[in-house]
Structure 1
Amino acid sequence: MGRRSGYPQGDRRGRLSAGAKREAGERGPATRAVEAGRREEWTWPVVNPPVWRGSTHLYRDSAELAKGRPNEDGQFYYGRRGSPTQWALSEALTELEPGAHGTLLYPSGVAAIAGALLGVLQAGDVLLMTDNAYEPSRAMADRLLAPMGISTRYFDPLDVDGFAAQFCDRTRAVLLEAPGSLTMELCDVPALAAVAHGREALVLIDNTWAGPLGFPAFRRGCDISIMALTKHVGGHSDLMMGSVSAADPALYDQLRVKAQLLGQVVSPDDAALALRGLRTMPLRLARSAQSALAVAQWLRGRDEVAHVLCPMLPGAPGHDLWARDFSGGCGLFSFVLRGRSPADRARLIDALELFGIGYSWGGFESLAIPFEPNRARSATSWPPPGWDAADRLGIRLAIGLEDPEDLVHDLARGFAAMERE
């Protein structure tokens, strides 16, 4: 069987040649999402890589066993090092992330964050973490890293001028989110990254919100890009997985060895599901972002709403940075009720029929959860300065693939229920 016409061919170790990388990089994101990771030696006569289930990989003879095999994708060794199913997903994610050298897979998004931090930090180091980070990231810093002798300092991600003062001689890394969890503040990633690199610190970013299709993390100054593949890549609320991509080959190898020492591996069945979701991710992201923008614009006109926290929305906090640094977004954003009680908010959410109540996001279905971020803040305050203190109760929406008109109607029902005692 001949290879597919027009598809860049990798060398025997599974890496694209420089010419093939340039060719692939010129293609649009949707084309790359369709083609990425579909090497002939991994798919053979079918479209998708088969699901390779196997813990034991066999050697031909004792001589081959003694010789060993390189520690890289494309080399059978043992089940923990993956098979063509996992290798295809890793390569596909690498090809979607401009500037990435390689991508590692983890059994959840939180495992990916932990793997990245443990891969670059050691006892005595200091980590700077954005104050609006995903709450499990904060818990990890306080309850996992701290007992290991790794200190964490939280900083205001919007205070670029004061950022340099947060560093000390032991600062090794900075963890960013763009936008921040729940409250959606958008920081100036290139500016913060430039300060960090000036102090010889690595820049890690949780890039789950827009992903590489909407935010090219390495081109914006980051060294490590982390994603919860549970969200947009899976896309169907039926798998747990995370990834860590690195631009520098030496840094990638460092992370890879640490992941292997920790025994990190993902199921080939879940990898196949993630590959399936990845193929339609550009379409789902575009649809959910478009619908989210329509819902956000509608919410802006409601008297019950004090603030709409959606960087994609013109005039919203962070929109200028979004327009400068991003080429896309997603369906996740938040809004803040005007002077309401927790009981009011509960009535609104409980009346919703199309929005489920649950964590996660990035699936085909819409979700709503209440939030009050005070318990997960230490360097910033909520509500922010300049807001009315009574405007503090938030609701995070994950907009799925339903018709936006139906979602607006559902939210209108929720607002009506909120008014009823």
Structure 2
Amino acid sequence: MATSTRLLHHAYRPPAEFEAPAPGVHKASTVFFPNVAAMRARDWKDKSAYTYGLHGTPTTFTLEARIATLEGGTHCVLAPSGLSALALVDMAFLRAGDEVLLPDNAYGPGLSLAEVELARWGIAHRRYDPMRPQHLAELIGPATRLVWLEAAGSVTLEFPDIPALVAVVQAANAARAQCDPGARTIVSALDNTWGAGVAFAPFALGVDVSLQALTKYPSGGGDVLMGSVVTRDAGLHRQLLLTHMRLGLGVGANDAELVLRGLSSIALRYHAQDRATRALAGWMRQQAVVAQVFHPALPGSPGHAHWLRDASAAACLFSVVFQPHITPAQVDAFCDRLRLFRLGYSWAGPVSLCVPYDLSAMRTLPGPHPAALVRFAVGLEDVADLQADLAQALAGLS
């Protein structure tokens, strides 16, 4: 037998018993079967066997199990990004003629997906005020099949009354079942990227599905794109899994390895960044040029009472609105003067970030929507150094 053949079909198999802190990294598109009977008998859907790389390897199955545990769920599927995980939920539970309801402060790309792609497929959408459960109740109609929740809200960080919003959905489902026992139910899906499975337990608050951008806290390094969708309901999981398969969604083994590595320190990082963020948000609120600071753990921030009741920690984000006499151009110049807070999207990584936003272009419901708001993401730098950076940049505003 030629050397090239012997190398490809080598007889050696390493012994089975090996265990270490880091799970093994299994890379595969092709998976070998011992015989035709095994090939025909294996079913990838219950994770009891392997059939093809897209359907899972020991590495991705391990990550899915740990993410499900983190969020208090039972089933998990992985996606290449948080946004693709969000799209997976939309596509699994919606079809032409349906309607999805989204909070007005939802993640921008998720709103855009509904406004453009879902609309092209005949799926309607409306926005509700997440701080008024009654508004959600008023909007739910016969075509409603999916309600998105987000805690805290994107950019402005309002913390909604999640149990009250879920109760609205459950009441609508009960009324629908009474009229037609075979009617399709409304699914409640929470974007839990901010909570990360650390700040609160999503399923204890009643949601059906919990989504995360694993890009953020579970990775923690600012170097991986990945998402997850977790549920406790076997039927919902099967819908997600089959849509996931048909779309050909998969994640790389090395990316899964990095998220598994990050998970071991997620609680330590979350709480450390929480403490730093509260200190900086409280300090910023005392500055004369600052009109308002959004952070769920600060008294007076929208939804603070809900956060106090339902959560035990807060993520690394806070947002600042400056006094009315500060122009958007001055706000941009303030961001440019920052040295430790780098200009960049995403958050929950080791480096602190900031992004200026024009809320007037992002919200549709009535309300005070300032044209200049800055969202800060606090990293792992020393708090005193970050405060000094903010102080020197604020000095330019006076």
Per the alignment, residue 89 of structure 1 pairs with 63
3-state SS of 2:84 partner = helix
Question: Contact 2:273/2:380 (CA < 8 Å) preserved in 1?
Answer: yes
Partner of 1:108: 81
User: Which of 177, 182, 202 lines up with 2:150 in the alignment?
Assistant: 177
Matched, 1:140 2:140: no
Q: How many residues are paired up?
A: 371
1:155 to 114, 121, 128: 128
Looking at structure 1, the residues matched to 18 and 160 of structure 2 have their Cα atoms a distance apart, in angstroms, of 44
How far is the alpha carbon of 1:324 from its aligned partner? 0.3
Q: Secondary structure at the match of 2:45?
A: coil
Does the Cα contact within 8 Å between 1:374 and 1:381 map onto a contact in 2? Answer: no
- The one of 351, 375, 398 equivalent to 1:396 is 375
Kindly indicate whether residue 391 of structure 2 is the aligned counterpart of residue 412 of structure 1.
yes
Could you tell me which residue of structure 1 aligns to residue 7 of structure 2? none
2:269 is paired with a residue whose SS is helix
Q: Which of 213, 222, 228 is residue 237 of structure 1 equivalent to?
A: 222
Shift of 1:42: 9.8
Matched, 1:343 2:322: no
The letter for the 1-side match of 2:109 is P
Out of 353, 369, 378, which is 2:364 matched to?
A: 378
Which amino acid letter does the alignment assign opposite residue 226 of structure 1? L
- 1:284 and 2:269 correspond: yes
**Is the Cα contact below 8 Å between 1:74 and 1:87 reproduced in 2?**
no
Deviations 1:10-33 (A, max 9, x none): xxxxxxxxxxxxxxxxxxxxxxxx
User: CA offset at residue 43 of structure 1?
Assistant: 8.6
Q: Is the 8 A contact 1:74 1:84 kept in 2?
A: no
| Correspondent of 2:352 among 362, 366, 372 | 366
Residue of structure 2 aligned with 1:267, choices 252, 268, 275: 252
What's the TM-score once normalised by structure 1's chain length?
0.86
User: What CA distance in whole angstroms lies between the structure 2 residues aligned with 1:122 and 1:72?
Assistant: 26
Q: Helix, strand or coil: the match of 2:379?
A: coil
CA deviation map 1:244-289 (0-9, x unaligned) = 0011111111101110110011001000000000110100000001
Counterpart for residue 54 of structure 2: 80
Q: CA RMSD in A?
A: 1.5
Q: Matched residues, percent identical?
A: 37
Between the aligned partners of 1:74 and 1:285, the Cα distance in structure 2 is 33
**Deviation of the 1:135 alpha carbon:** 0.6
Shift of 1:317: 2.2
Work out whether residues 382 and 392 of structure 1, in 8 Å CA contact, stay in contact via their aligned partners in 2: no
Amino acid in the other structure paired with 2:337 = A
Question: Which residue does the alignment assign to 1:190?
Answer: 163
How far apart are the structure 2 equivalents of 1:407 and 1:140? 35
Instruction: Specify the alignment match of 1:228 in structure 2.
Output: 213
Cα distance in structure 2, aligned partners of 1:259 and 1:88 = 18
Deviations 1:148-205 (A, max 9, x none): 1110011111122232110111111100111110011111110011001111221101
Residue 120 of structure 1 and its aligned partner are, at CA, apart by: 0.8
Q: For 2:350 and 2:270, locate their aligned partners in 1 and report how far apart those are by CA, in whole Å.
A: 10
- 2:97 paired with 1:124: yes
Once residues 296 and 191 of structure 2 are traced to their aligned partners in structure 1, the CA distance between those partners, rounded to angstroms, is 16
Whether the 8 Å CA contact 1:102–1:252 is kept in 2: the answer is yes
- Confirm or deny: 8 A CA contact 2:359 2:372 kept in the other structure: no
Q: Is the 8 A contact 1:156 1:380 kept in 2?
A: no
Does 1:211 pair with 2:196?
yes
Name the counterpart of 1:36: none
State the AA in 2 paired with 1:418.
L
* Structure 2 Cα separation of the partners of residues 232 and 313 of structure 1: 21
CA offsets per residue over residues 107-157 of structure 1, 9 Å max, x none?
000001000111111111110100001110011001111111110011111
The counterpart of 2:306, out of the listed 317, 321, 325, is 321
Q: Distance in 2 between matches of 1:177 and 1:233?
A: 18
Instruction: Output the CA distance in 2 between the equivalents of 1:319 and 1:184.
Output: 10
2:78 alignment partner, SS class: strand
Separation in 1 of the partners of 2:316 and 2:361? 25
Instruction: Give, in whole Å, the separation in 1 of the partners of 2:340 and 2:246.
Output: 44
Greater shift, 231-240 or 343-352, is seen at: 343-352
- 1:34-83 Cα shifts (integer Å, max 9, x gaps): xxxxxxx9993222111111110011012212223342224110010111
Question: 8 Å contact 1:145–1:151 — kept in the other structure?
Answer: yes
Give the secondary structure class of the aligned counterpart of 1:104.
strand
* Contact residue 85 and residue 229 of structure 2 kept, 8 A: yes
More displaced 10-residue stretch of structure 1: 45-54 or 77-86: 45-54
The gaps in structure 1 that reach 5 residues or longer are 1-40, 384-390
TM-score for the superposition, normalised by structure 2: 0.91
Q: Answer yes or no: is 1:57 the counterpart of 2:31.
A: yes
Displacement, 1:303? Answer: 0.5
Q: Residue 386 of structure 1 corresponds to which residue in structure 2?
A: none
Three-state SS of the structure 2 residue aligned to 1:381 is: coil
| Alpha-carbon separation, structure 2, partners of 1:239 and 1:66 | 35
Alpha-carbon distance in 1 for matches of 2:102, 2:193:
16
Are the structure 2 counterparts of residues 321 and 233 from structure 1 closer, same or farther at C-alpha, using a change threshold of 3 Å? same
Which residue number in structure 1 is paired with residue 5 of structure 2?
none
